[in-house]
Amino acid sequence: MPVAFAPCLLAANWKMNMDHLQTLEFIRELSLLLPEKEAEGSGVEMAIFPPFTSLRTAQVFSASYRCPLSLGAQDVSPHPSGAFTGEVSASMLSRLGCKFVLVGHSESRKNHHETREELVGKVKNAIACRITPILCVGEKEKSVEGLEEICSQAEEVFCDLDPEERGKVIVSYEPVWAIGSSVTASPDIIRRAAGALESDLFGKFGASPKILYGGSVNERNIESLKGLGLGGFLVGRAGLNPAEFASIFRCLAGKE
């Protein structure tokens, strides 16, 4: 059975924030701010990406508080199991109810020096465990070469996937210069980047992945970004605060 998605994904990458007690508090507050009924049929799927140590708490308490959240992990091992100290496999994430996993976020690329083979392994292992990989791509500097850089980051993974796997990947455009900064990419830049990724991946592989945008999205700029026809948004800082996360959700769902 194919995995079902709402038309718009609002994903919160918590990075190395939120221990399990803070995760419980976030879910409790969000369930009060956004009752399950309000999220149903909204066309927007909310997902949180806590650290590994908070996943079990998120799984248990989003169910018991009836909080309308999907779960994702921030990384996954490129190996299915075995002697890989410190790594977490896709099947373990799947047992924790993860529907999504980030692959190749610019911070992991930089801090863990991920190779192309590792990125491909992560994507393949996630898909084999019915987890949707969100492959992050983004140019380091704001420049005209940026489009080539993001297309080649996506291509180098897509070229080693089979056609069925290509149909199961989400791509997130995340310009490195906009992440964790005070500037978001302009609607024009995002439109151009999404268009370049779409035509490149369709032209070379016949793939039409959902494209997200991430990089300093918040409750003040979401209004100007929501009309871009993207598949959703990946937020960092704005996803740590339940009130701001709920307000971005309401804007995307057309309720504000």
Considering the complex, state which of residue 165 and residue 217 has its C-beta at the smaller distance from ligand PGA. Answer: 217
Q: Which of 114, 118, 165, 174 is catalytic?
A: 174
Q: Does 75 bind ligand PGA (CB under 6 A)?
A: no
Question: How big is the chain by its Cα radius of gyration, in Å?
Answer: 17
For tokens 């009130």, name the residue: 243
Instruction: Establish whether 112 is a catalytic residue.
Output: no
Question: Which two structure tokens, joined as six digits, stand for 56?
Answer: 């079990």
Q: Could you give the CA distance from residue 39 to residue 68 in angstroms, rounded to a whole number?
A: 7
CB atoms within 10 A of CB 91: 16
Q: Smallest distance, Å, CB 213 to ligand PGA? A: 9
At 170 the three-state DSSP class reads strand
Instruction: Establish whether 105 is a catalytic residue.
Output: yes
Q: Does 179 bind ligand PGA (CB under 6 A)?
A: yes
For tokens 């084999």, name the residue: 128
Q: Could you give the CA distance from residue 197 to residue 210 in angstroms, rounded to a whole number?
A: 10
Q: Could you give the CA distance from residue 197 to residue 151 in angstroms, rounded to a whole number?
A: 6
Contact string 84-113 vs ligand PGA (x = CB under 6 A): ------------------------------
Considering the complex, state which of residue 114 and residue 174 has its C-beta at the smaller distance from ligand PGA. Answer: 174
Q: Does 180 bind ligand PGA (CB under 6 A)?
A: yes
Q: Smallest distance, Å, CB 178 to ligand PGA? A: 6
Contact string 120-159 vs ligand PGA (x = CB under 6 A): ----------------------------------------
Among 72, 133, 215, 232, binds ligand PGA (CB under 6 A): 215
φ, ψ (nearest 5 deg) of residue 60: -70, -45
Among 30, 120, 201, 234, binds ligand PGA (CB under 6 A): 234
Dihedral-angle region of residue 28 (phi above 0 means left; psi in -120 to 50 means alpha; beta otherwise): alpha
Q: Could you give the CA distance from residue 215 to residue 12 in angstroms, rounded to a whole number?
A: 11
Dihedral-angle region of residue 55 (phi above 0 means left; psi in -120 to 50 means alpha; beta otherwise): alpha
Region binding ligand PGA by CB under 6 A among candidate stretches 150-158, 160-168, 202-210, 213-221 = 213-221
Q: Smallest distance, Å, CB 180 to ligand PGA? A: 5
- Give the active site residues: 105, 174
Chain positions contacting ligand PGA, by CB under 6 A: 13, 174, 179-180, 214-217, 234-238
